[in-house]
Amino acid sequence: MNEFSPKMTQLLANKNRLAKVGLMILAPLVIVLFWLGSNFLASENDGPALRSAKVKRGPLTIKLIESGELRAQDQVTISAVTDKRILWLVPEGKWVEKGDTLIRYESEKYEIARGEGESALLFSQAALVKAVSDLEAQQMRENSLRKSYEQLPVLVKKGFIMEYELDRARLAYIEAKSNTRSLEAALEAARAKVRRAEQAYAQQDRKLRQGVVLAPRAGLAVYATFGDGETRKKITMGMTPLEGMDLLYLPDVSSMLVDIQVSEVDVAKLKIGLPAEVRVDAYPDMVFKGEIKTIADLAKRKLNFLTGKANGAKIFEVTLQVHDRDLRLKPGLTATLDIVLNEYANELYVPVDGIFFDGESNALVYVKERGKITARPVSIGDSNDRYVVIQAGLQEGETIVMGRPGTL
């Protein structure tokens, strides 16, 4: 009788003593009552309240089922470079190629400023051309006066011209040199004006070009959110973002991850590289393949979804890599993971509802045979959400019940 708990053993002992007294008094009546009672108890145990199941042998997959959220392993963030009002946004969820337009800002005042800058640049460039032309003409005049002045001293000596004519030529040459230096300075000033005008124009042109944001690479357009808690919302057309504020994300959907939280009880069953099946709630008929990529080294308190505060449960963050590339896999979608912990080719197993524990936490089952239900200790192994492996104590084809009989 070792298989029964102390309470159950005591109950059977009391029944035996009562039976002996009854036999000494009215043996025939006790026999009749026992037969009737046995039939009544068997009928109660066989009723619909106690389902039964066969012990089976065969292949069994042990899985851990968890839910998480999809995210991209790699993504580009598009931030606001200025505080201009958003006039147009690419539709969220649209696939864009490199160079496609993502955002258009309000640009009227920048178009006016660029036009003014362009006019100023053209004016300064024209002034520069004139300064270059004036200097070249002056340099030619100076060169001509220099040659004339250099020839006159010989003519003065020969008496062909007077001394004052030489002095007048010298003064004209000196004046020409002075004018040349002035025009050279004017040319440098004109060049400086052109550089300033070019910088001003480039600045206005850059601001105008910032009014149209182009995709730096291909990806799926995902709107950023702003605000806290219940006030958190996505960016919209017509809003004026702050400079540096995140506006769009371009995740690389060719490499998607799923983040899940695993209890400290189950994390010991996991290891890097374990395969998993990924099912997305939005597409329940699709099954994607993946494997565990990272397991956190440290546990943390699980946050209550409603209050946002940590409760007593400890969890580990686990990340799974999705192998399949599919545009339907979008960041933020809820995914259910079936992580394969172990696969058995030929093992005995029973439903988990058929396993019970005595006062000393020893596993037992209730076996139904020849019209009777008896408790039997068993040794159990791995389990999933439906079945548990039986290592010892049962044989294939035996029948167990799915509830604890109250009459044993």
Of 291, 343, 299, 340, residue with least CA distance to 319:
291
CATH 3.30.40 for domain 76-104+212-249: no
Burial group, residue 163, by CB count within 10 angstroms (0-12, 13-18, 19+) = exposed
Q: What is the pLDDT of residue 307?
A: 53
Q: What is the pLDDT of residue 224?
A: 87
Strands 283-295 and 275-280: antiparallel
Q: Which amino acid is at 104?
A: R
Q: What is the pLDDT of residue 268?
A: 86
Residues 32-61: tens digit of each pLDDT: 334 334 433 334 444 445 789 999 999 998
Cβ atoms of 244 and 82 within 8 Å: the answer is: no
Q: What is the pLDDT of residue 380?
A: 93
Q: What is the pLDDT of residue 31?
A: 40
Can you list the residues of the chain whose pLDDT is less than 70? Answer: 1-49, 108-111, 207-210, 229-230, 303-312, 407-408
Ranges of each domain in the chain: 6-64+344-401, 65-71+251-339, 76-104+212-249, 108-209
Residues 324-343: tens digit of each pLDDT: 888 788 888 899 999 888 88
Of 385, 288, 231, residue with least CA distance to 68:
288
The phi, psi pair for 207, rounded to 5°, reads: -65, -40
* Architecture of the domain delimited by 6-64+344-401: Beta Barrel (2.40)
- Assigned fold of 65-71+251-339: Elongation Factor Tu (Ef-tu); domain 3 (2.40.30)
Strands 379-383 and 225-226: unpaired
Longest dimension (CA), the chain: 180
Angle (deg, nearest 10), helices 108-158 and 163-209: 170
Q: What is the pLDDT of residue 15?
A: 38
Q: What is the pLDDT of residue 109?
A: 66
Per-residue DSSP letter, 215: P
